[in-house]
Amino acid sequence: MDLQKIRADFPILSREVYGKPLVYFDNGATTQKPRQVVDAITDEYYSVNANVHRGVHFLSQQATELHEASRETVRKFIHAGSTNEIIFTRGTTESINLFVSSFGEEFMQEGDEVILSVMEHHSNIVPWQLLAAKRGIAIKVIPMNDRGELLLDEYKQLFSERTKIVSVAHVSNVLGTVNPVKEMIRYAHGQGVPVLVDGAQSIPHMPVDVQDLDADFYVFSGHKVYGPTGVGVLYGKEEWLDKMPPYQGGGEMIQHVSFERTTFNELPFKFEAGTPDYIGTTGLAKALDYVSAIGMEKIAAHEHELTTYAMTRLKEIPGMRIFGEAEEKGSVISFLVGDIHHFDMGTLLDRLGIAVRTGHHCAQPLMQRLGIEGTVRASFGLYNTKEEIDVLVAGIERVSRMF
């Protein structure tokens, strides 16, 4: 990977913060955008913009073609079988809410169960709790060991005849653990249970093949994979999506409306009420083209090297406590140093130009499991370098000395 060339595509990486070169290690929260993505968005607004699907005029048709071509780009990127299986949403959170609402309505009754893991993001917990309050479903939780690996034997014990769905993160946004979702899906299918994979933290970092995983549903956000904010995806197997009711009502998702009776559009439009973010989908497709051109395998290898290097260097710091040391670990490192509060560490690192995240990372149940309030989290992207990790290590050492 030509890092110099890649970094030049991201203008923000050459800016300074408090007079220091920016070191951006908050990629788990959102990634920076390459010029190619921003240019595609600007170009579409300047030269194509028109509402999609409904117009006979030239611009509307061109905008529709771009929007549907983006769907095909997503399909190819995750190796889905059909564009009917690609639903555009606002992001991971909306994808999960759509899923829980629609799947829950059709397939879950009082007393039915969902299996989640202890390391889920709030967006894969709270929608289920809302459904539990409405429908009386029960939530079961897969525990983990102290390295941050899910306990698969215990996972298998959680299944009962009332289990209707497993919903689990592919990669933990706190621990970096890459969960063995393929194996988990195989087991669940053996029990006749479908699986949703939260891919928010896997899509930017590794090749994803939903058919190889045999995932029934897979969700992600565009902004975490170098695309724009406000657009995301729910992938679902057609056989499931066909049986699921619409999530929102409005334009686009209907075939025919009368006050007596409305019929719904076919997939994927049944789940896409209202004007979609058709400019956002163009930006997302450009982002996927961008990472594909580099190669997801190469990105994964580069980030693995960065993570291995960072783990070694960080462990040299006295008082360093790292949370998440799974055998299979992505490019996320959560830590605390001595008794320095994560917020103080983050604030002082910021003064040195280093952007990290602090707090509970929308995973409070996981914090409870770890017996802490929060961590400092450094998360790497394709453009990060070993030199930047050296800056982080020096920064942490400097902050540590101050305490």
Question: Which region, judged by CB under 6 A, interacts with ligand PLP, from 107-115, 121-129, 175-183, 372-380?
Answer: 121-129
Residues 150-189: x where in contact with ligand PLP by CB under 6 A, - otherwise, as a string? -------------------x---x----------------
Cβ at position 139, least distance to ligand PLP in Å: 16
Nearer to ligand PLP, 73 or 93 (CB): 93
Asked whether 313 and 390 are in contact (CB, 8 A), the reply is yes
C-alpha to C-alpha distance for 11 and 43, rounded to whole angstroms? 18
Question: Which region, judged by CB under 6 A, interacts with ligand PLP, from 16-24, 99-107, 142-150, 196-204?
Answer: 196-204
**Is residue 26 involved in binding ligand PLP (CB under 6 A)?**
no
Nearer to ligand PLP, 200 or 382 (CB): 200
Cβ at position 93, least distance to ligand PLP in Å: 3
Nearer to ligand PLP, 162 or 360 (CB): 360
Which positions from 315 through 334 interact with ligand PLP, judged by CB under 6 A?
Answer: none
Which positions from 273 through 292 interact with ligand PLP, judged by CB under 6 A?
Answer: none
- Helix ranges (DSSP H) in 10-143: 35-47, 58-78, 92-107, 126-135
| Residue 386 structure tokens | 């070993």
Question: Which region, judged by CB under 6 A, interacts with ligand PLP, from 33-41, 120-128, 350-358, 376-384?
Answer: 120-128
Question: Which region, judged by CB under 6 A, interacts with ligand PLP, from 129-137, 197-205, 251-259, 387-395?
Answer: 197-205
Asked whether 352 and 398 are in contact (CB, 8 A), the reply is yes
Of the candidates 106, 24, 31, the residue with the CA atom closest to the CA atom of residue 288 = 31
Question: Which long-range contacts (C-beta less than 8 Å, at least 24 apart) are formed by 350-354?
Answer: 350/17, 350/18, 351/18, 352/18, 352/20, 352/391, 352/395, 352/398, 353/16, 353/17, 353/18, 353/19, 353/20, 353/21, 353/22, 353/23, 353/391, 354/23, 354/25, 354/391, 354/392, 354/395
The one among 53, 67, 121, 205 contacting ligand PLP by CB under 6 A: 121
**Is residue 92 involved in binding ligand PLP (CB under 6 A)?**
yes
Asked whether 283 and 228 are in contact (CB, 8 A), the reply is yes
Catalytic residue among 3, 8, 254, 362: 362
- Helix ranges (DSSP H) in 191-271: 210-213, 238-241
Q: How wide is the angle at C-alpha 143 spanned by C-alphas 142 and 149, nearest 5°? A: 105
**Is residue 123 involved in binding ligand PLP (CB under 6 A)?**
yes
Of the candidates 149, 208, 158, the residue with the CA atom closest to the CA atom of residue 180 = 149
C-alpha to C-alpha distance for 373 and 363, rounded to whole angstroms? 10
The one among 149, 198, 277, 303 contacting ligand PLP by CB under 6 A: 198
158 included as an active-site residue: no
Q: Which residues bind ligand PLP (CB under 6 A)?
A: 91-93, 121, 123-124, 169, 173, 198, 200-201, 221
Give catalytic residue positions: 362
